[in-house]
């Protein structure tokens, strides 16, 4: 965080993209839209610039960043070896909401990889992201453009609100289309594994690979020892509480929602249905389908977070595979909080 800095939001014109590329080249920070969420980018070969990203986010140094590339061909500059499975997934889903973890090439900075022997790579499909990466013509290390653990931004204004005093150029490319982060597939070992469900459904990854893919349920428990011996989580987004609003939030079963909401009018509600007739509290309806729901979720959580509610009650979503990524984010957004007892009523919630 640079003292006296200020975020500057500009429309993502060709000129602004060219300016952004030169900001990156000069060691500065650029926030840019991707189809998933906005990223806070720095030149992946400039360690001082990448350190600024960590300090702006308040992110622990051991949590690696994704390197964004203009094309799949650029993988060879960052990965020691590009396995056939990586070629296949890149072919099928890039540009798009997929991140591949590969053995890193020599010379890839420890600052980017958090000291791990692997590197995460992604080619985003948002036209502004692609234009920037092409103009810049090298890797851009970019985490989601939010303070560590907080809800990811899906508009340029969200980014400016997260980092009002950071010296960063924010390219405004409108609201993100996917709305939650990329699917991360680890191809650095013999068996492909999904480390984070996201924009590309796991079933499509398995279909493209022609084999079943393991989804690592709780990556946070899988730890790599630090040099000093203390274990660190491999995927920081996998920390139990993450993607979380500051307001306490709870998951509530659909059949218990109306009663729970009526008993706690100070809490806002997020549901796929409309509010019951006569309901007087704050109720937000998100789309019935998983894609539409994902697109709107973070903006809704952010908006409710700012309104100073006593809490946020979020209706559980279906159990099937199509909702896997949304379920994962809702679980983390609501981790470590418990449903408050309603005052004086027997409202049943789960
Ligand atoms: O959709 C996205 O992936 C967005 C946009 C901006 O591209 N980026 C994003 O970055 O979500 P971030 O830093 O918020 O999350 C990146 C995730 C983290 O959970 C990190 O641990 C994991 O990628 N990751 C990065 N490098 C890794 C590695 N070498 N091995 C395992 N996981 C890695
Ligand atoms: Mg993030």
Cβ–ligand 1 distance for 237 under 6 Å, the answer: yes
The bridge status of strand 283-285 relative to strand 267-271 is parallel
Cβ–ligand 1 distance for 128 under 6 Å, the answer: no
CA 180, CA 34: separation in Å to the nearest integer?
A: 10
pLDDT in tens, 90-105: 999 999 999 999 999 9
Q: Which atom of ligand 1 is nearest to the CA of 142?
A: 6
- In sequence order, what are the residues at sequence separation of 6 or more whose Cβ sits closer than 8 angstroms to the Cβ of residue 118? 64, 101, 102, 103, 104, 186, 188
pLDDT in tens, 158-183: 999 999 999 999 999 999 999 999 99
Q: Is 51 helix (H, G, I), strand (E, B) or coil?
A: helix
Whole-model pTM: value is 0.91
Cβ–ligand 1 distance for 7 under 6 Å, the answer: no
Which ligand is closest in space to the CA of residue 235?
1
Report the pLDDT value the prediction gives residue 226, as an integer from 0 to 100: 41
pLDDT at residue 345 tops 80: no
As a whole number, the mean pLDDT across the chain is 90
User: Per-residue pLDDT averaged across 317-324, rounded?
Assistant: 96
Which residue, among 237, 258, 250, 255, has the nearest Cα to 325 in the 3D structure? 237
CA 292, CA 305: separation in Å to the nearest integer?
A: 20
DSSP E strands in the chain: the ranges are 7-11, 29-32, 39-43, 66-68, 98-103, 118-122, 140-141, 168-172, 183-186, 193-196, 214-215, 223-225, 231-233, 249-252, 267-271, 283-285, 311-315
Distance in Å, CA 339 to ligand 1 centroid: 30
């Amino acid at each position: 965080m640079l003292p006296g800095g200020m975020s500057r939001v500009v429309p993502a014109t060709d000129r602004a993209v060219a300016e952004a590329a030169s900001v990156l080249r000069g060691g500065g920070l650029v926030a840019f839209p991707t189809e998933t969420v906005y990223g806070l980018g720095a030149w992946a070969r400039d360690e001082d610039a990448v350190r600024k990203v960590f300090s702006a986010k308040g992110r622990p140094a051991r949590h690696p960043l994704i390197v964004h590339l203009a094309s799949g061909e650029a993988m060879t500059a960052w990965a020691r070896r590009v396995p056939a499975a990586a070629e296949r997934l890149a072919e099928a889903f890039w540009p798009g909401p997929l991140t591949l973890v590969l053995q890193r090439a020599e010379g890839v900075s420890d600052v980017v990889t958090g000291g791990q022997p692997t590197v995460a790579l992604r080619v985003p499909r948002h036209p502004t992201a692609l234009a920037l990466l092409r103009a810049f013509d090298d890797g851009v290390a970019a985490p989601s453009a939010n303070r560590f653990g907080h809800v990811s931004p899906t508009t340029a204004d969200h980014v400016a609100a997260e980092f009002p005093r950071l010296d960063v150029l924010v390219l405004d490319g409108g609201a993100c289309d996917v709305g939650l982060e990329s699917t991360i597939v680890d191809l650095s070992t013999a068996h492909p594994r999904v480390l984070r469900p996201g924009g590309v459904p796991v079933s499509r990854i398995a279909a493209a690979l022609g084999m079943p893919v393991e989804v690592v349920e709780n990556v946070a428990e899988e730890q790599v020892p630090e040099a000093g011996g203390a274990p660190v989580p491999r995927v920081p987004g996998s920390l139990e509480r993450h993607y979380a609003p500051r307001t306490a939030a709870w998951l509530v079963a659909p059949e218990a929602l109306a009663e729970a909401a009526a008993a706690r009018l100070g809490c806002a509600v997020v549901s796929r249905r409309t509010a019951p007739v006569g309901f007087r509290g704050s109720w937000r309806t998100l789309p019935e389908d998983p894609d539409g729901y994902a697109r709107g979720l973070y903006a809704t959580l952010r908006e409710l977070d700012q309104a100073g509610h006593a809490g946020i009650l979020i209706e559980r979503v279906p159990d099937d595979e199509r909702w896997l990524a949304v379920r994962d984010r809702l679980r983390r957004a609501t981790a470590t909080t418990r449903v408050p007892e309603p005052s004086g009523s027997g409202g049943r919630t789960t």
